Structures are given as C-alpha cells and as structure tokens.
Amino acid sequence: MTSGAPIPSPAMRQALEAAGVPTLRLPFLTSLVDGKAVTGETEFEVLEKFTRAPVARLSEASRAQVADAVRVAQRAFETGAPPPHERAKILRRVGALLDRDRARFAALIVAETGFTQADAAMEIDRSIVTLQLSAEEATRIAGEMVPFGASPGQQDRIGFTLRVPVGVVCAITPFNSPLNTVLHKITPALAAGNAVLLKPSNLTPLTPALLCELFLEAGLPPALLGLLQGAGDTVGRYLLEEPAIAFYAFTGSTRVGRIVQQAAGLRRTQLELGSIASTIVCADADLDRAAAKIANAAFRKAGQVCTSVQRLYAERGVAEDVAARVVAEARRMPAGNPWKSETRIGPMITEAAAERTVAWVAEATGSQARLLTGGNRAGAVMEPTLLGGLRSGMRVLDQEIFAPVLSILPFDELSEAVAGANATPYGLSAGIFTRDINAAMRAAKALRFGAVHINEASSARGDAMPFGGVKESGFGREGPQYAIREVTEERLVTINP
C-alpha cells in the first residue's frame, strides 16, 4: 500500500456507508515543507471515530525532515514576510476559501473528531471569524510612546517602541479543535510576520492538512508555513530539540506542557493546559437559562473541551431543582452517530477514553456518589452523565475527566463555592449565574481563573477575547489581538536630539 493512501477495506467501507459517512475527499496525506509534500519512513492510521474504521494512512515526518523544515522556515523569516496589508489580504482569502469549502471541512471534522454536524459547523463559523480578526490585527500592530519627561535632564529625548516578529513559531495543537485552535495558533503568528511550523494531533491530522492547502491557494509564500505530521513522542520531540525555533505555542495536557516549557528554556512559550472548570449557580439565578447553558457547556463535543463544566456548584436551596433541570436537558441531548443530524453528542476521541470515563464513574458510584442520569457507553460513545453525592478524593471530581460527565455540589455560602472552585491545581475558566451584581463582582475578583463569566457557563468563549489560564492551566493568551503580543518582541527606539 502506498504512503498516504486511503485504506478502508471493503468491510470497513460497508461499515462507513451504513453509518452514513460520505465519501471523503482527503487532502494531501504527508508533511509539507516549502510547499512540497515530503514522505517519511513510518506511517500511522487515521480512524473515523464512530465506526473506528481507518480512513487514511499518513506519513510521519522523519528527524531529518523536521530539521529541514526548521531551516526552510528560518530562511523564510530572514528573507521577510509579505508586508502587513498583503498578509491581511491572504488571511481574508483563506477565510473566503474556507467558506467555499465548508462542506468538505465539515465532513473531515466529523470523521476524524467525532464531532456532531452542528459542532463541526460551529467550528467552521468560528474559524472564519478568527481569520477575519487576525487579518484586521495584521495591519495595526503598533508600539507606544515613552514619556522621557519623567526623568530630569531627559525631557528632550524621544522614545517609542516597535513590535517585531520573533522568528520561527512552532504550533503544537490538540485533537479537540483541529481547525479553530490551529488558526488561533498560526494566524496571529503569520499576521505578525513570523514563519510557522504546525504539528497537529496525529489523531486529527486531516483537517489541518486541508487548511494548509487553503493557505497555499490563498497566496501565502510556501516557506512561511510548514506542516509536520506525526506523534508528539516523535515529531513533537524533534521540534523541541530545534534551537532555531523562537516560540512554542502549545495546547494540551499539563504533563506535556511541562516538557515543552523545560525544552524551551529561555525561549518564549504560550501554554494552554489542563483544567477542571467550575460553574456556580446562586439561588437567585434564572435556573432555566443556567441549566441549558451548563448542559451544553458540559456535554458538547463529548465533554472534550478544556473549559467544559466539570464541577457544578449549586446553592443548596435550589440544588435539587438545578439538578433536575440539567438532567432534563441532558436527556434531550441524544448521544450516538455524529453523521445523524439529530445527534447532539458524538463519540469520544478513542474507545479507551470512553472506557476510562466509565471506570471513573463506576468508582464514584461505588463510593457514595449517586448517578442522576447517564453513566453508560456504547463503543466510544458516552452518555451525558450527571453525578451527585460526591466527596473529595474521587477522580471524577479531582482530576480532569475530559468527558461528558458533570458533578453537582451543593453550597450554603458563595464563599464556599468560590473556595471549592479555587481548590484545584488549575485555573482556566469559571462561570457564575446570579442576578446580584455585587455578588458576581466579588466572585469575579476571588475566583483565580484566567476568565470568569457572569451569567454564562465556564466554556463561554468569543474568538476576539483574551483566552488563557493561570496556575497549572498555563500562561499566555490566545485571541488574535492578544496572541500577536505573544509572538512579537517589544523593541525600544530612542532619539536624543
């Protein structure tokens, strides 16, 4: 079988057809260096996540190919990116091409992630916004004036800062957002005039490959964007060994984030890492509104979102009512085949992930926790699950579950809920529902998270906002305006007349 060939056997193709999987028009299935496909010595399979049928075999980049990609990117950076107005035009063209090809992207996203069709469509819509925002920011990168008049004898000096690109940016991206998170990493870097090397998850490599095709079609100089396919333990490690890379942008686990940071040394990084996201519901909240938003935030994308609600704190007087409403919402969210339009929750990324989730739930229910709804799986599909009666020490509560499982915890005083939410190693995002603006602002100041959303769940995100965490959730910010600050250096220029 040739490298990069589609691989469904007749039996696998029959299973795909029975599930309603369309014929996938695959992108190039190798790495991309200087606009040219390169083939490594080893290969890996990509599975359709509902049937678990292999749909493609990709070539993994070799150590030498990674080194060559870095050299090409460094030369491209030194040669210089197109001017800002042209970079903006290229990004807008990519947005238009993505809109043109949305059906093809949607099919690839559903196939390799297990997202529902609605989630895939939202991923594409948000990605177009991210491209538009990055295009706008490309033309307004600016520094600031320095007030030398504050220093005696220096009042005649003039000073200002410039923001200049850092060089080669390496983006290492996760499986749970193979389009929009990729764009949040690479488009601010390109908008700022950097060269970029992209290593997507080997679980979801097809969508990023198709995206790279669009950048080439849109007129981006090929050497400015390299694609390196393969596993983190191999290709990711090779990239961390390359001293010419100036900046690493990584989304993934805290464990791997520590490895990235250690390898980077004095080089700069942006790390979006683990999370145990909490949302608080006070007795005065609009409970119907809260329940609908919380259920969506806990269960969409099969709970495989870093800001998915894992801990739900409900004021004791309304806790049973909140639980009942969330249960009702969960039961209106069918789990199963993502190719069916009525499905709200598709499969998890691997069957092993679903098996682990069931084991954690069983461990909790075997030790006093109550199963309020869900708890079952079929293959990689996990039902939306709500648990009550929990205690500290249960893995469903104290470790990142990254699954469609929500734990409800009653509280008496708001300070108790805030303390509970803060009592994890992480601090990415939190939400609070209340009509009391004073209580909301007290909580916003006390919750140690990168974002606190009032009358929204923890996963409320707009692509223009600064996004990132504190503590073991990492540091640095996404959002094109803010990410450009991360991938540029501030340079002071002074003039002494």
Q: State the catalytic residues.
A: 272, 306
Q: Let me know how long the chain is.
A: 497
The 3-state DSSP class for residue 488 equals strand
Find out whether 345 and 333 touch, Cβ atoms under 8 Å. Answer: yes
Angle at 38 between CA 34 and CA 41, to 5 degrees: 150
Q: How far apart (Å, rounded) are the C-alpha atoms in residues 193 and 156?
A: 33
Reported as type and span, the H/E element at residue 245 is strand 245-251
Q: How far apart are alpha carbons 276 and 406 in whole angstroms?
A: 11
Residue 22: phi and psi, rounded to 5, are -70, 165
Tokens at residue 83, please? 């001017």
The DSSP secondary structure of 131-198, one letter per residue, reads: HHHHHHHHT-----EE-GGGSTT-TT-EEEEEEEE-SEEEEE--TT-TTHHHHHHHHHHHHTT-EEEE
Q: State phi, psi for 416 to the nearest 5 degrees.
A: -65, -45
Residue 170: what are its φ and ψ, rounded to 5°?
A: -105, 120
What's the CA gap between 298 and 335, in Å, rounded?
A: 13
- As given in the structure block, the two tokens for residue 307 are 């800001």
The amino acid sitting at 206 is L
∠ at Cα 162 (157, 163), nearest 5°? Answer: 160
| C-alpha distances in Å from residue 14, one per residue of 10, 18, 115 | 6, 6, 21
**C-alpha angle 129/130/132, rounded to 5°?**
65
**Selection from 305, 350, 364, 326 nearest residue 375 by Cα:** 364
What sign for the dihedral angle of Cα 390, 395, 398, 404? negative
CB burial of residue 462 (10 Å; 0-12, 13-18, 19+): exposed
C-alpha closest to that of 361 among 379, 387, 380: 387
